[in-house]
Structure 1
Amino acid sequence: MNIAYYMPFKPMGHRHPSGDLVIGTELYNFLHERHEIELVSKLRCRWIFLRPRTLLHLITERRKVLRDGGTRSYDLWLSYHCYYKAPDLLGPWCSKKLGLPYVVFQGIYSTKRRRRLLTLPGFLLNRKALLSAAHVFTNKKKDLANLQRLLPEDRLNYIAPGLHPQAFTFDDGRRQELRRLWQIGEESVVMTAAMMRPGVKTEGIVRVMESCAELLRAGLPLRLIVAGDGSCRALLEKKADTLLPPGSVHFVGQIARDEMAGYYSAADVFAFPGFEESLGMVYLEAQSCNLPVVACGDWGGGEAVIDGQTGLLTPAADPARFTQAIRRLVEDRSLRGRLGAAAGEHIRTNHDLDRNYRQMENTLAGLRACPQKT
């Protein structure tokens, strides 16, 4: 297949890493290994309906894509990650002009966005784009349920999120090396990881610090490892100074993704609530390294973790239960071992990227000759 590929929310190579960017890049890489695929534009549609200059740029991009597309002989158009904040204003128009099936991966539909004047334009533009799609794939079951209110079943598919399990395996050598570096004795190591930006990511790290502080006051021997960086790092380090005893927490900064497996291997528990987290790739990565997870089941944690089998899920509104879940795993080495082993198997069985994306690939092959639905 020859595929026109577009990422309206955040273009590939964007300087701010995120789980969505990882998924979009890995989707591109999977298809690139097996087909012809071209990133047709780097136009970012985030809040585009509030940015007149970018709307003018949209007109220029449409002309450019149309001009270039006339010589490329594309079989279909695939856009990744479209929702009310970043409605796809390029894909539907260009694919129609080029006579291509328009396909969306990770389309999101939420009717509550029509209730606010600020988000209503994005809701309407996103709804229009989704309705024009020949097919929509989603990697979240909650989003599938919402999309089923808008589109017929034959235009929808759930594709479980995935990673390359071989890139995230337990590494005992790295475990010993890092634990020596951190001077870990008999303590259990709790790890958390997130971009340290304002809002729910930072709030999630604070929740983990508060839980660990409570457990340390109760006499549990543990050490907290915090991976990530961002504008709120200084604030979080200051918060840690007020909550946690000296030497009980290490901020290790932003770790390259291909080095994260070593850090997961060095830990005994991965804890991150994931407030409003759409998915949370860290949950998949940690489990792939045989690390049991503590998360809130309200959002992405519930998509990635099997409660009581690969980790422990708690309600977001109950901080005490989140703390208690961490405590259970810190105190019970046998439980940690069982959940960790099951977590690794769960990822290999259900979240292998290549296996899951082959399902999508088969659907794309069937769409390539279909006219665009309007």
Structure 2
Amino acid sequence: MRIAFYSPNKPLGHPDPSGDQTIAQGLVEALHGAGYACREMSRFRARWFWREKGGWSRAVQGVVEALRQSRIWRPHLWLTYHTYYKAPDVIGPWLSRLLGIPYVLVQPMYGTKRRRRAETRPGFYLNRWALLGAHLAVINNRNDLAALERVVPLNRLAYVAPGIFPEMFVRCEAARRTVRAHWGFAAHDPVLLAVARFRPGVKRKSLHFLFHALARIGDNPKPWRLVVVGDGPLEAEMHRTAARRLGRRVVFVGRVARRELHAYYSAGDLFVFPGIRESLGMVYLEAQACGLPVVALREGGVDQVVWDGLTGILIPRRDPGAYAEAVRNLLQDEARRRFLGLKGVRYVEWYRNLHRQVRYLAGLLESLV
């Protein structure tokens, strides 16, 4: 089966990484691994295109180029990943009809309040048009279901749990020793790890919350260090805030290639990222696959990728004191950290394994074709 692929929010090769891009790349890789030919048909980035000079012209060019490629390659199915009001799919609905092939959306989103503002109204109606034309809409976040039911019939909706490739994130003791030695940490120094992009919005709020909460711990029960992996436009602000709150306890290591992240997860003892309004958070699955217990907030879709009480601790409200207490308790209890870490590895392998999820998705696509 040949699958035409399109990601309107961010092309597969976009230089600015994000969780959505990671999911899209994993989806394509998994489909290839399952024996399907999957080709990106357009790199047109639809995000807010109607607000930009020449945006509509570029959209038309994207449609024409994708049509040219499609007529040569002759796909059996069109699959668009993540359409929503900021980045609606303006290519797939047209081309799937012209080519006479099924049109599938993976991780679409819908919110009726977006039609109220002039700024978001074009994106709302374009996204609605895509949803109305879909033969199948596949969600990976249960929180999106209620809104989508307003526009997509139930018999065209399916749920496939989020997942990662567990083999990419395996705990490595040799890497742990190497990375910790590079930082000058002793073998038994407690190390907290966070992985995030330093960008405005919820990531910024989460990092500020984290620094504020950890400042309450002090050296109780013993001296610990925080390692932050990531970069972004707010890097200078994050450095200043962390230095003011945590002093020399925090180390920033910059951006790390995803294929190398397992070494940094392996060097840590506890994964700490609050996840304010986090849609899902692939970093939580990556950390658990490497045996790191998680401390996060019970917000957004975090509880769909962290098993509260079994692979980590989810704080029910934005309470820095409660967050700090959870971290402190796990720093004091090495046996519980080890138990949560082992359960996290098994949780990802059995319930959030992308190989398994894509086999189920492939069955749905085969039935449409």
* Partner Cα distance (1:334, 1:217) in 2: 20
1:1-374 → structure 2 map (5 Å cutoff): 1-33=1-33, 34-185=35-186, 186-216=188-218, 218=220, 220-246=222-248, 248-368=249-369
Structure 1 residues 150-159 or 175-184, which shifts more? 175-184
User: Cα distance, 1:286 vs. partner?
Assistant: 0.1
User: Cα distance, 1:339 vs. partner?
Assistant: 0.9
* RMSD (Å) for aligned C-alpha atoms: 1.5
User: Cα distance, 1:200 vs. partner?
Assistant: 1.7
Q: Which amino acid is 1:125 matched to?
A: L
Deviations 1:282-305 (A, max 9, x none): 000000011000111111322210
User: Cα distance, 1:236 vs. partner?
Assistant: 1.2
Q: Which amino acid is 1:122 matched to?
A: G
User: Cα distance, 1:354 vs. partner?
Assistant: 0.8
Contact 1:139 1:161 (C-alpha < 8 Å) held by counterparts: yes
* Partner Cα distance (2:110, 2:176) in 1: 42
Deviations 1:197-218 (A, max 9, x none): 1222122122222222210165
* Partner Cα distance (1:219, 1:345) in 2: 29
User: Cα distance, 1:335 vs. partner?
Assistant: 1.3
Contact 2:221 2:331 (C-alpha < 8 Å) held by counterparts: no
Contact 2:291 2:344 (C-alpha < 8 Å) held by counterparts: yes
User: Cα distance, 1:181 vs. partner?
Assistant: 2.3
User: Cα distance, 1:219 vs. partner?
Assistant: 5.7
* Partner Cα distance (1:179, 1:29) in 2: 32
Distance change (3 Å), C-alpha of 1:64 and 1:329: same
User: Cα distance, 1:317 vs. partner?
Assistant: 2.6
* Partner Cα distance (1:295, 1:223) in 2: 18
Match of 1:291, SS?
coil
* Partner Cα distance (2:263, 2:185) in 1: 15
User: Cα distance, 1:28 vs. partner?
Assistant: 1.3
User: Cα distance, 1:175 vs. partner?
Assistant: 1.2
Match of 1:38, SS?
strand
Identity of aligned residues (%): 42
Match of 1:107, SS?
coil
Stretches of structure 1 lacking an aligned partner (at least 5 in a row) = 369-374
* Partner Cα distance (1:305, 1:23) in 2: 17
Provide the TM-score with structure 2 as the length reference: 0.95
Stretches of structure 2 lacking an aligned partner (at least 5 in a row) = none
Q: Which amino acid is 1:12 matched to?
A: L
Match of 2:88, SS?
coil
Match of 1:70, SS?
helix
* Partner Cα distance (2:61, 2:88) in 1: 17
Deviations 1:69-109 (A, max 9, x none): 22322211111110111010111011111111111111111
* Partner Cα distance (2:45, 2:109) in 1: 17
User: Cα distance, 1:112 vs. partner?
Assistant: 3.0
Match of 2:41, SS?
strand
Contact 2:143 2:301 (C-alpha < 8 Å) held by counterparts: no
Provide the TM-score with structure 1 as the length reference: 0.94
Contact 2:216 2:321 (C-alpha < 8 Å) held by counterparts: no
Distance change (3 Å), C-alpha of 1:67 and 1:240: closer
Match of 1:204, SS?
helix
Structure 1 residues 213-222 or 274-283, which shifts more? 213-222
Contact 1:273 1:316 (C-alpha < 8 Å) held by counterparts: no
Match of 2:215, SS?
helix
Deviations 1:110-160 (A, max 9, x none): 223233332222122111111110001111111123222322222111111
* Partner Cα distance (1:360, 1:326) in 2: 37
